[in-house]
Amino acid sequence: MKKLIEQIIKFGIVGVLCFGIDFAIYTVLCTVFNVHYLIAGFFGFLISVTVNYLLSMKYIFIRRDNVEKKKEFTIFLILSVIGLLLNLLIIWVCVDGLYVHITFINTLVSENFAKLSGKIVATAVVMVYNFVTRKIFLEKKESDVIEYGES
């Protein structure tokens, strides 16, 4: 249990760092360069997921011995693409689904606030998805570890 808690803390630290990268890129592209929020979300997520892969597989998850790095990255990428789609869907629901179509909301907050808060909600949901799926599909299982000294 202690090992799992340490792993969750490390995942949280890497997640905060990668969220910072993702959110900064997203915010700059949306607010400074007026890039469409879904395109900005794509680029922010793409860069942060690359950093996340490198840090996650080095500091958080124990690699499986029987999986080549190419296959490992492919699995990570597939899981991340699903996470990206989930991320973009949640942002789209928050902006086009709620902000644009519900008059009460768009009179209370600005479009930029809707975009940024949608990004925060999406990131929180996708962070849980990422931890669970990476733990299931990428990490060496306890049953894979041979305990030395036992008969």
Phi first, then psi, for residue 35 (nearest 5°) are: -75, 145
- Angle among Cα 21, 37, 135 to the nearest 5 degrees reads 50
Question: What tens digit of pLDDT does each residue of 119-147 get?
Answer: 899 988 998 998 999 999 988 876 655 44
Q: How far is Cα of residue 93 from the mean position of the Cα atoms in its chain?
A: 18
The CA R_g of the chain, rounded to the nearest whole Å, is: 18
Question: What tens digit of pLDDT does each residue of 42-60 get?
Answer: 899 889 988 998 999 899 9
% of the chain exceeding 70 in pLDDT = 93
Res 147: pLDDT: 46
Q: Is the pLDDT of residue 94 over 90?
A: yes
